[in-house]
Structure formats: C-alpha cells, structure tokens
Structure 1
C-alpha cells in the first residue's frame, strides 16, 4: 500500500476568480475537463493528480521499469475510475535516455508521453541538454505547447524576464488547479554552458512564491512542480535538510498546497509544513498521486484536503494493461533502434559499473566505469589515429553524472553500439586544455560541493594519475597530494587535460576547468571515440580502483 498524507486548508482560503491574460510569464490557458461527480456527493468534488519525474526516455518495459505503454495504461485506468484526473510531470522526461529514445533525439518519448495523456510538465535540467534553442524550437513544439516546459525561475540572462512559461492552470469539473514549474538553480552547471548562455536560473523559492501570489485568486489549488529534490527518503531528514531544496520545502508560500519534486530520483511521500511533499522515484517505476477534495458548493471550492502518495507500477501487485497506441509508438522506436544498435563493437571481461550499490546510486565514490571512460578519453587524444591535436593529452577527467548506464558481462561479453551509447548518451565532444598543478588540485577540490543536492561528485581519472585525499576536511583542504607517472605534481607543473565539452566549459560546478589555457575542441564525439576504443581492444577490462586514495590507507 502506498504511504499517504493529507493537508486541510483554512476555510475559504481561496475563491474562484476570472481568468487573466495569457502571457509568456504564465501558460494560463484554462482547459476545462468534463464534469463528473466523483464521490456521489453533490457538494464535494474529488480530483486526482498523477505525477512522474525523471522518466529519462525509459519507454521500453523491463523487469525494473514499467515502460511507457504500461504507464499510459495505469493513467487510463485511474482516469476511468475518476475522470477528474490530471497527469503531470516534474521534469526530465527526456535526456540521459536509453538508446531506443536517445538515437531518435527523444522524439519517441515525447510521442509516447503525449499519447499517454500528459497534461503538462515542469522543465528539468535535462530538457536543456541540447540547449535552450533546441528546447524552444524543437522539444516544446513536439509536445504541442509551452505547458510542457514550465520554468518560473528561468530568465533571460541579466533580466527578470521569463524565458519559459511560469505556470499553467487547469479547470477540472469546476475546480481550478494552478501548476507552477521550477528547476534546480544548479542547472547552469549541469548542462553545457554554451547551450544556456543567454538564460540564467534563479531562486526556486523566490519564483514559486512570487507566482503563487500572482495566481492565488485565479485558482482553488496550487501545486508546485519542482525539478529538485532531497537526497534521502527520510521525511524528518528532508524537513530539516540544509539545502536549497530544504529551504524550498520549509519556506514555500502557504498558498502552495503541495510540492511534487524530482531530480534526485528518490521515492518519498511526506507531510512537511502541513502539506504533501512527494517524489515518484524514476524511469516510470512509480506514479505519484495527489488526491484533492474540494467543497464545490457550500464554500466556493474550498480545499477540504489534499493527500499525497506513491503507486508502484512494477512490483506493487496491481497489473496495469499496456496501452496499445503507446505500445505501437514504442515498438516502432525499438525496431528502428535495433537496426542501428545491434552492431557489435567489442567485448568486456567483467562487469564495468558506476559507483554505489546498486550501481549508479552514488556519484560521490570512485568507480570502474568512471576510470575506464577517463582511460578512453586519454587514448582518444593521445593514441587514436583520428585525433588531430598537435599535443597529446596526459590526464583525463570524467564526471559521474555523464555516466548513465553500466556494462554488464553476459554470454561471451559482447558489447553492442546500443550498450556503449547508453553509458554516454549526451553526444559531447572531447576537449583538451592546459592546467597548472595548482589548478588541477583546485579541480579535484571542486568534487566536494557542500549545500548542493549531491554534495560530492567523484571524477573518474585516467591511468598514470593518482591523488590522496581526506574526505572530511574544510573546503580547499581535501587534497593531500597528487602524482603523475609516480612523480609528485608541483603547483607550477603544467599538464594537458582532456575531458568532455560539458566539463571543459565548467559544467557540474567544476568552474576551474573553464579557466584552462589553450582550450581546443578535438571534434571527437565521446560515443564515436568509445566505439573505436572497443574496436581497437580485443577485450576491455574494468579500470582498476585506487587512483583516488583516502589518505592513510592503501590503494586496493
């Protein structure tokens, strides 16, 4: 059974009001839904809001993920039980997707979610993976409108002018529900800076409270769709979390009746500050649900209660039917991807995994996958025949957030194009730059990011480079020593570094990389270089751990 909670608002908290003019600042189109008595009580209207977050193009079903067709079937089943049902997202519908969606620029995901009846969505950081222009010119039109990229804290750079619609209002059986969208203010560091050069990401709290006040008299219920979240699933911990998200949860306006979150891929249904705060895990494994009860007549649509819960789509015992229209979209995408992705590119000798248990759950630890990709980057800019640079790279760095899947040893260890593409789905290029020893140390210090939703991002590093560190140390004092080919690195030494274009531009908070000298884009795409690396090696082994060593311990 899903966990649940409820909120009861003050009597007469909000009255119905007339519509305001539609503007860029808000997608105010009031879309009425057919009126149906949901409870059999004339004075009471029940509305259900189903939610997803961090779907990331997981349109195919597997043992852990429901897939788009079953997701659509579940939504349809709940709508059949209560026609007063909305289906919304807290962002990251696309980007960092599996090969089936990634190879087609995520158009199959957009088509599948649209066919599933997605009503609106907040924008997530991954919606900016190919830049703001791509979001505006391709993604939003593919959905059919700006209600699928709500971002109240996204502004044209240097202004407070909204760069995206800030909110959308839906009328359901006479009840007006306002949805405000916000995205983590860290987004500028999570995507290629070049792609968002003309926009900036402000405070979610300021934007949410500002817009809630603006639409208060136009709505009966306000839901915040925040593409940010807690790192834990403990409600008490979330309530006291010292982060931007913690501040948002505690200080959001009393006008906001519920908070639907995302980004951190967690599963929780909490009551914090007398309102539901939920997140529905990831990849379509789970639906979030807000059950809203409104006194429709006696008290002019007074909110009686709002209850938050989560619904397991893959292991909860209830079997939801696959929607045939959505299944046809998925099947067509699979057929196209199978042709492109079935080509064998090489073999592995054992599992090659991201950090954490399960793999991929912890970006703050060293991983065989992170180190291997760093090795591939180094090979591609030092030994690879297609590298056109005049100076070979010496040290490679790889960010953990750029690793989106593992390579599992199965059968004879064969790895396909699709397998490799799933690991690095962003299409970054490899960039070289020169850093001093002092700058390199600062880059390593930037792995620790206290106050962020992920307080540490452990970089994968290439063979030949290693360092010792103290985990719990003051800012700027984590790195004890560094060495290259066994020799200590001095602050004035210089090294040619290779990384992906995202990190080279200062992404993920590694600002010092953007200060490197002689920055040059090799033109090599990470996926193409990885495919050629596998083809060049008879068998690829997991890269060893122990390149980053806790001070006072022995490397494994």
Structure 2
C-alpha cells in the first residue's frame, strides 16, 4: 500500500513536502483498521458491553487547520485528504461518540507546547478551552507540557492567572478556568516527597442493564523528558521507568474494579506498514522495549511523541503481549477509533479493533498546490462552540501576526546539510549574536542555536515580506538570551557533546548551529572526545585557554538537549527574548540573505 502511494505521488511535489502521506481509516468501515466491523450484531451470548475508546496525540495547540493532508486509496486511485482544525476535530470526536453510549476519549500528550501563535501567544489557554468543549476524559502529559515549567502545567490543569512565564496569562479569559479533564503523569514524581506531580490513573465506568464495566487508564510521559526540556522546568522532579510504573499500578486499578486497562503514554515508534494494516511490520523505536516489559493484562496502548500514525496488533510481534498499539499522528489530523467488547461474565476484553479516522474539514492551498475536499472519506462540520473559541483568539492574534518585520531574499529552511547545519539555524545564531555583541549587551563573540528550537521554516511572500507571525512560528518558546564566558576547551567539550551520550548520539546527533565567524570540523570515525578539531574564531585558531563570550537560549543555558557543559561558564548576563532578537535582526538587516552553510565541515560521512 505504502509503495502504491509513493509511486502515485512520486514527482508530484507531495513527497518530502509538509503533507503526510499516510493511508488512514474511514468512517463507515472503509479502509478499516484491525478488523472489518466495529459492531458485532447477532453475536451469541455471553452478554457484553461495547466501549468506544477514542485516542489522539501530539495536538500541539493547532487551533486552525495545519494545512496538512493524508493520502488514501480510493476506487480511482490515491487521493489527498485535507485534515485538521480543532472545530472539525471536535465534530469528529462527537461523531465517534454518537455510535454508541459507552465511550472515553484520551490524549497521549503534547496537547500543548510548540504551538502555533493563535494558541502559544496566550499560553495555550485557547487549546485547553477548545478541548474542554470536546468533553474528553484524560491527557497523559508529554514532554512539551513542561516547556514552560511544571508550575505552569499545574495552572493549565487547575486554572487561575498566576504568572510563571514572561508572557501574561488570562489575556482573554479572566479568569482562566483550567482543564475540565484530567492530566495524568504516573511516572512524574516529586523528589521531595515521592508523590506524583499529577494523578497517576483515572477510571471511567459504563453501566448497561444493571451491569457495570470499568475502564482504568494509566497516563505516562517518556522517561527521557528531562533531556528534552529546560532543566529548570522539571527541577525537583524525577521521571521513572515507564513499564515498571505501569506494571505496579495495574493491581491497584484491578482492586478499584478496573476490567479494561489502557496505557496512554507519550512515547512511540515507527512502522513500515500502512496505517490500516495490523502486521506491525518494521515496528521500531523507543516504545518497543517498553511494550516488551509491559504486563499482558494491558488491553490497549495509546502512544504518541513520534508524530507517526499506526494501528498495530502487537500479538503479531509477541503473542505474549496481546494488546493493541495505536498512534494518531499529529496536529489533530487523525483520531483513533478503538472498539472494545467486554464479556460481562468473565470481565475481560474478548474482542478489540482499531482504525485511524481522517479529520477532513476544509480545503487549503499550500506549497504542494490546492488540496480540495474529497468524497473519498467523510468530512466533518465545524463545531460552533469550538469555532467561536478559535475565532476569538485568532482575532486577538491577527494584528500582531500580520505585522511586517522585514524582508528576506528567499526562503530560510531547516533542511540539514551533510555537515548537519541549516540555513535557518545559522540565521538565528547570527541574530542572537547581533543582539548581544555590544559590550553593554553582553559582548558576545559566538552564538549557539539548537535545531530543536526551530519549529517552522521561514518563507517570505512573493514580495519578499516576512511577518511577525512567521517569526513566532519559528521560535515559539519565549526563551531569554544568556551570555556567559567559556574557555576554548569548554567550547570544544560542548561540541563533543553533540555526538556523546543521552539523546545526542552518534546515530542521531543534534548539531548546534553556530554564528558567522566561527568554524570547526568533526570526524565521526574518531573516538568519542576526539571528534572536533580545527576550531577557528574570527580567522584565528581558538586556543583551549582563550576566553570567549557565548550567547545561547535560556534553554541551552540550563543544559537542555543534554548540553551540560553549557551550564558552566562565568559572568552570566541575561538579556531579552530570542524572538525579539530575531525580529530586530530583520528590522536592521533587511533584506536578509540566506546564510552560508559552510561553517561546519564533516570530514567523514555523518550518520543521519
């Protein structure tokens, strides 16, 4: 199937574009997931209760349609389906709920964080308010829920206007009332007392004909969260092993009457199978070792984090672990429709199927051309209550988003060169250096920018104009700039950490973009600690004892992405916001040229 789609779209501009070329299930049984039916009319006794479990993940505050498409096979061939948008997403959830009286809705994390301007500008309060209207049950927090720190995460759950960030809360809703669904974080523990930051589990009961069946939900985030967010945002917390945490909670849930166990986890994988297949072909990723240690009493694992869409009958991989594994991709473009039949005598799940459903809402025109609505899959109307929330916050954001900030000669993109640097990363590094190089601003001589902090490409319009909303999409986190003094030896150690332990491995190094005037070489064939050489700053070799003023984001300053050496340094000076520096660069340097990507040299083939 995937090969057919790839052949159909090869050369059409869809491959390698922002579109998602993934086949997906369709309401009414077309392209079903793990089975050909979701109702089992006429089945003989024993008596049973059917539960619809609806899953999604990695919404990332996409209030408006994200201009993404999924591809499906129709009778006439592959068809692109425009997908996403919270108003349509809400209607799709309602449609799935309407198919039966017993249902629950769960999210596998990253509901907020790294969001577009319409949500992020207002501290993701719009997303919480929109999801409240959808009447979901639980969200297992992901790493991005910690982007603004755990205290701000608690505010999103509990409500209120206490300020924990540089941005002002409650700009529209006064007061902000918080989430009307439960945030779960079973393996996120306060160091001081061993208690979980948020509840570990949740229960939902379904009654039919005097018989009650109970769904137990365990919510987990990935244990590696501290390597992906600012350490200050998770200070005082520890993140425990996912499988061990879940396994310890299952007896507790059973004691509370849980008949069905769902693990909702912000960790995931990849498969080579089509979305409607259940073979688990090519299943890989960090979710696999967790699944292999998970108690077989688990019925369903709703996953996320990798932004991949899949439906997988894991019993085909390991018959001793007979649970469903699902993921609904990203940005609210898909929902997973999971059907569970529970035998009311044995209190066990006797049948389970799943399929991914495309959230088709409205056509769009993007870099890959016009993507019209299609009758190949159902479409959903905009939910009026959610649309009102979207419209309210969009109207508040538009004046700022549309404000011109300057011009660019051509597109600035995140695509990596063989040396693992990008034009956009180099631009941001240059902007940070420009904002802090004056003595009174810190006297910076060198800038570092982490690639994970770049969330969108920067493409000017036909006249070369760049607007504030585009800059915000590139850098939505609101980090402050920090300048510190490091020795040449410390800078070398930082660069070696790109290829060292933790999340920055030789297999998937996170190479920092560097500012103009600095250059170096790396050789991945050499031993760890000896890969970086030929460091040059402003035309002169950088000696180990030479002091250098370095500017970086507050995220890197606190050791984000495992760059622990960057927590060192002396004469620390905190400056303005990274986004303000980028805007100032465009105002003073327009038209901005595309920076050269020759600052870093790989002298051996980099493993990508």
What is the correspondence of 1:283-294 to structure 2 with a 5 Å cutoff? Answer: 283-294=331-342
| Distance change in 2, residues 1:511/1:376 (3 Å) | same
1:433 alignment partner in structure 2: 484
In structure 1, list runs of 5 or more residues that go unmatched: 7-36
2:404–2:466 CA contact under 8 A, matched in 1: yes
Q: Deviations over 1:252-273 (max 9, x none)?
A: 1112222111122122222333
1:83 counterpart SS class: coil
Counterpart selection for 1:368 from 420, 423, 437: 423
Distance in 2 (CA, whole Å) between partners of 1:131 and 1:52 is: 23
Counterpart selection for 1:308 from 337, 340, 354: 354
- Shift, 1:39, TM fit: 5.0
Which moved further from structure 2: 115-124 or 272-281?
272-281
1:18 alignment partner in structure 2: none
Pair 1:336-2:388 in alignment? no
| Distance change in 2, residues 1:39/1:115 (3 Å) | farther
1:470–1:551 CA contact under 8 A, matched in 2: yes
Distance in 2 (CA, whole Å) between partners of 1:499 and 1:232 is: 36
Distance in 1 (CA, whole Å) between partners of 2:481 and 2:334 is: 36
Q: Deviations over 1:296-327 (max 9, x none)?
A: 2xx24321022233222248722122111111
2:548 alignment partner in structure 1: 495
- Shift, 1:152, TM fit: 0.6
Distance in 2 (CA, whole Å) between partners of 1:172 and 1:370 is: 51
- Shift, 1:452, TM fit: 3.8
Distance in 1 (CA, whole Å) between partners of 2:177 and 2:99 is: 26
What is the correspondence of 1:157-196 to structure 2 with a 5 Å cutoff? Answer: 157-173=191-207, 174-196=212-234
1:466–1:483 CA contact under 8 A, matched in 2: yes
1:55 alignment partner in structure 2: 59
Pair 1:238-2:283 in alignment? yes
Q: Deviations over 1:82-137 (max 9, x none)?
A: 23222210111111110111111111111111112222100111111221111113
Pair 1:408-2:459 in alignment? yes
Distance in 1 (CA, whole Å) between partners of 2:592 and 2:409 is: 6
Distance in 2 (CA, whole Å) between partners of 1:195 and 1:370 is: 24
Pair 1:90-2:101 in alignment? no
- In the superposition, the TM-score normalised over structure 2's length comes to 0.78
1:149 counterpart SS class: strand
Distance in 2 (CA, whole Å) between partners of 1:320 and 1:477 is: 56
| Distance change in 2, residues 1:467/1:89 (3 Å) | same
1:101 counterpart SS class: helix
1:221 alignment partner in structure 2: 260
Q: CA RMSD in A?
A: 2.6
1:207 alignment partner in structure 2: 245
Which moved further from structure 2: 56-65 or 444-453?
444-453
2:377 counterpart SS class: coil
Q: Deviations over 1:117-176 (max 9, x none)?
A: 222100111111221111113444357568532101111125532121101111134321
Distance in 2 (CA, whole Å) between partners of 1:144 and 1:172 is: 26
| Distance change in 2, residues 1:86/1:208 (3 Å) | same
| Distance change in 2, residues 1:90/1:542 (3 Å) | same
Distance in 2 (CA, whole Å) between partners of 1:481 and 1:216 is: 61
1:481 counterpart SS class: strand
1:39–1:46 CA contact under 8 A, matched in 2: no
Pair 1:537-2:589 in alignment? yes
1:294 counterpart SS class: strand
Distance in 1 (CA, whole Å) between partners of 2:475 and 2:312 is: 34
2:53 counterpart SS class: strand
1:206 counterpart SS class: helix
Distance in 2 (CA, whole Å) between partners of 1:149 and 1:553 is: 44
Distance in 2 (CA, whole Å) between partners of 1:246 and 1:471 is: 28
| Distance change in 2, residues 1:552/1:161 (3 Å) | closer
Work out the number of aligned pairs and report it: 509
- In the superposition, the TM-score normalised over structure 1's length comes to 0.85
What is the correspondence of 1:382-531 to structure 2 with a 5 Å cutoff? Answer: 382-383=437-438, 388-389=440-441, 391-448=442-499, 452=503, 455-471=508-524, 474-522=527-575, 524-531=576-583
| Distance change in 2, residues 1:107/1:464 (3 Å) | same
1:238 counterpart SS class: coil
Distance in 1 (CA, whole Å) between partners of 2:185 and 2:66 is: 32
1:281 alignment partner in structure 2: 329
1:32 alignment partner in structure 2: none
Distance in 1 (CA, whole Å) between partners of 2:308 and 2:132 is: 24
What is the correspondence of 1:345-356 to structure 2 with a 5 Å cutoff? Answer: 345-355=405-415
Distance in 2 (CA, whole Å) between partners of 1:490 and 1:225 is: 50
| Distance change in 2, residues 1:169/1:379 (3 Å) | same
